[in-house]
C-alpha cells in the first residue's frame, strides 16, 4: 500500500482505499485526525476520522469537534489554493 493511502472499512465491512489529504493533531485535546478522499469519485467530498498511533480509525461524533475540523479544512484549502496560484 502506498504511504499516502489508507483503507477505510464501512459499517457493512466493505473496504475502500482512500487517499490521505493531510493529517492534523489537535494539541489541546491530544487527538490526531486524518482528512482523506476517494480519488475514484470526483465529487470533492472530504472525510475525516480520528486516528491512533496504531492506525485505528474512529468516527468524529462531537459537533464541536466537527466545527473545529471544518475550520481546519477551510484553512488548509485556503493555504493550498494560495500555493497553487503562486506556482
For residue range 30-80, what is the model confidence (pLDDT) as tens digits?
Answer: 999 999 999 999 888 999 999 999 989 999 999 999 999 999 999 999 999
Q: Write down the pLDDT at residue 10.
A: 87
83: pLDDT confidence band, cut at 50, 70 and 90?
A: low
Which DSSP symbol is given to 86? H
Outline where DSSP puts E strands in the chain: 5-9, 15-26, 31-37, 47-51, 57-58
Q: Write down the pLDDT at residue 29.
A: 86
Minimal CA–CA distance to 76: which of 39, 44, 43, 35? 35
2: pLDDT confidence band, cut at 50, 70 and 90?
A: low
Q: Write down the pLDDT at residue 84.
A: 57
Q: Write down the pLDDT at residue 74.
A: 96
Amino acid at each position: 500500500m502506498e504511504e499516502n493511502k489508507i483503507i477505510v472499512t464501512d459499517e457493512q465491512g466493505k473496504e475502500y482505499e482512500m487517499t490521505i489529504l493531510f493529517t492534523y493533531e489537535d494539541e489541546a485535546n491530544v487527538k490526531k485526525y486524518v482528512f482523506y478522499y476517494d480519488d475514484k469519485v470526483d465529487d470533492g467530498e472530504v472525510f475525516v476520522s480520528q486516528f491512533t498511533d496504531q492506525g485505528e480509525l474512529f468516527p468524529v461524533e462531537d459537533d464541536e469537534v466537527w466545527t473545529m475540523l471544518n475550520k481546519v479544512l477551510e484553512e488548509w484549502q485556503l493555504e493550498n489554493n494560495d500555493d497553487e496560484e503562486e506556482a
